[in-house]
Structure 1
């Protein structure tokens, strides 16, 4: 029998996960502003891979079962794609800040909805297509092309959103044949291998104080993934997914308080449009399934 569902607990777990993700983003912005982005992400992935291997070794069947997949190319590609997406997004934090990076990145659920047809063969009705179109209008409000203030750097978090959406779709595709434990194992190990091949060439000495921040970042990364897994274990995904959007206001608040960032009116308005459209697509997808 499946475990009983507890949506209220799942919602609280997702809220905690969103907050920790936002704190991680702030620490990543600080460290990547002082050291090379590739090195910071490489160290994170070393810890992440170690966490994944420890978890796998404690399960029935051990590492052999966790690594058993009939689609290794897809699993490796997923891991590589996510690692590169993290690099792109942390670069956006350094260049644009947390507020504007997350404002643009919030479009990723709309990208998932738009790409679910060609990638997964899912049907997307006119209501969701309308929401997708409105959401992209929100992105244009944020970017303000043609008004003399457009920053080409704003395309960096948009690229990260596309990469993360593709990663999410490929994860759903992989789930047709592999368990979540298998996908989790390959996400950590393939990502760590990728970042080691890249990041080792950009190694820089780090002062002791920043090693403390690096350690906290690594530990919170593992803990946040544990909370995320638990949230999806105890509750319906459609019930908790909307609360993942809380990462945006949490990260924006940290950007305003810790890094002296500003919230421009067009960014606030565009973000409301994007988030509203994204929440509608989540609600509509749930209605279609019921």
Structure 2
């Protein structure tokens, strides 16, 4: 199992627990690079992530978001345990971490981030939530210095500044239409960026199988401590939505893992942004959201700046 983790793909989906580190099923590198198939798998994964967000919004409108996320995390944790148990060394290997506190903290941060995303889906809709959340690669770049001690050059700082200008285009502060709820996806993006940086931090000592295990288990434990107080039984029809949510979660993670087996993360990352296209179509076509011109323009700016920072980070690491 390689110790280095690929950068986190774009995946804000509440159902997917926001894309924990991919877990290769073997301890050796991929036997062959099948980039075309890997890209198709990543696009399919992004589509399923969008479906999960739709399920999350439907359930989040009827129940407390923390309850929805808690039930989803229970299933996700079971999926992680089963998957990890089949790896070399099994659960005994996965439990052993050199940074238990950091692993627990990152799992809890991710669980809380997912709750905030579901709340944003309900209050803002899928389109505007994802438009703002797309800034998370910029936040990763901005925080990599103080958190990991990495050097961020002027090119990436320029891209970060341009990306935040794109966020202002989306939010339109001073126009009289900006709502305090618009800060929810930005806070979620900040938390997801911190989660990604902590993942890279623990990767210095723990292999990805360990981080994958602690993401699911510690996140489920943390969200249960908070969400169990809001417990209520779902209506029979809503268990169908929850089943769809859980099935999509497991399927998306399997496809994402397969994609990373077949191609490098740097190749796949741009195609993960196709989730923005799917959620926009779903938000407009199913939930009746309005795709405002400023949101489209701002999203293009943010995504372009984010892709540039990812590319520069990859260039600097070579």
Question: TM-score, structure 1 length as denominator?
Answer: 0.97
Question: How far apart in 2 are the matches of 1:223 and 1:66?
Answer: 22
d(CA) in 2 for partners of 1:109, 1:143: 18
Q: Residues 50-84 of structure 1: CA distance to partner in whole angstroms, max 9, x if unpaired?
A: 11111122222221111110100011111101000
On the 8 A contact 1:36/1:204 being kept in 2, the answer is: no
Of the candidates 212, 229, 239, which is equivalent to residue 240 of structure 2?
212
Listed one character per residue, the Cα deviations across residues 190-224 of structure 1 (whole Å, up to 9, x for unaligned) are: 01111111111111221111101101101211121
1:179 matched to 2:214: no
Moved more, 3-12 or 272-281: 3-12
* 3-state SS of 2:173 partner: coil
Whole-angstrom CA distance in 2 between matches of 1:56 and 1:99: 34
Verify: 1:145 aligned to 2:173, yes or no: yes
Residues 258-283 of structure 1 deviation map (CA, whole Å, 9 limit, x = unaligned): 10000111111111110111111122
Match of 1:176, SS? coil
Question: What is the CA distance between 1:233 and its match in structure 2?
Answer: 2.3
Alpha-carbon distance in 2 for matches of 1:115, 1:206: 40
Q: TM-score, normalised by structure 2?
A: 0.89
Determine if the alignment matches structure 1 residue 202 to structure 2 residue 219: no
Alpha-carbon distance between aligned partners in 2 of 1:79 and 1:113, rounded to the nearest angstrom: 21
Judging by fraction of residues, say which structure has more helix: 1
- Tell whether 2:300 aligns with 1:246: no
**Is it true that 1:115 corresponds to 2:143 in the alignment?**
yes
Q: 1:28 aligns with which of 43, 56, 79?
A: 56
Within 5 Å, which residues of 2 pair with 1:126-145?
A: 126-145=154-173
Distance 1:185 1:8 in 2: 29
Which shows bigger deviation, 53-62 or 143-152?
53-62
Structure 2 alignment gaps of length 5 or more: 1-27
Alignment equivalent of 1:15, drawn from 28, 33, 43? 43
**Equivalent residues in 2 for 1:259-274, closer than 5 Å:** 259-274=287-302
d(CA) in 2 for partners of 1:127, 1:40: 41
- Alignment partner of 1:226 is 2:254: yes
> After TM superposition, which residue ranges in structure 1, 4 or more long, deviate above 3 angstroms?
none
**Within 1, Cα distance between the matches of 2:162 and 2:259?**
30
In structure 1, how many angstroms separate the alpha carbons of the residues matched to 2:205 and 2:254? Answer: 23
Counterpart in the other structure of 1:103: 131
Using the alignment, how far apart are the partners of 1:82 and 1:45 within structure 2?
A: 11
Q: Does 1:258 align with 2:290?
A: no
